[in-house]
Structure 1
Amino acid sequence: MTPWPKDLAHRKLTGVCAGIANRLGLSRVTVRIVALIALILMPPLTLAAYLLAVLIMPPHRELKRWLD
């Protein structure tokens, strides 16, 4: 299983939404809008999931080193 890297080149905050968008083949704007709607509807759960993703998802530049 390959890790889902954060996209640091297209990040707004930490690159989590951009990394998820790249991995799923979606638009970065779409993922960010869904994340914003989730934040409005379920703030504690969304913040916890986002912070967990920030900690777990490796930066894109380190992915190559992990796979070697």
Structure 2
Amino acid sequence: MNTLQRPLDGRIIGGVCAGLAQRFGWKPLTVRILFLLSCLLPGPQFIAYIALWIIMPSEGSARATA
């Protein structure tokens, strides 16, 4: 199973949706559409995205291989 990391290829903003899609075997477009639809609901979606952007290591970084 893939680890949770932001890929170098296929990023649009931070690579969070692409990383989640890669981890769960989904298409990145599906995750991006689900995220955009979730923004129609009240909640901390943007805060969660930024937190994942900070927490998820980038593919090939030292944290990702450790």
TM-score range for the pair, normalised by the shorter chain length: 0.7 to 0.9
Pair 1:39-2:39 in alignment = yes
Q: Cα RMSD between the aligned structures? A: 1.5
User: Which residues of 2 match residues 1-68 of structure 1 at below 5 A?
Assistant: 4-42=4-42, 44-62=43-61, 63-64=64-65, 66=66
Q: How high is the sequence identity, in percent, across the aligned residues?
A: 33
| 8 A Cα contact 2:3 2:23, kept in partner | no
Q: How far does residue 40 in structure 1 lie from its aligned partner after superposition?
A: 2.1
Q: TM-score, normalised by structure 2?
A: 0.85
| 8 A Cα contact 1:8 1:14, kept in partner | no
Q: For the residues of structure 1 that align with 2:48 and 2:58, how far apart are their CA atoms? A: 17
Task: Provide the aligned length of Structure 1 versus Structure 2.
Answer: 63
Query: Unaligned 5+ residue runs, structure 1?
Result: none
Q: TM-score, normalised by structure 1?
A: 0.83
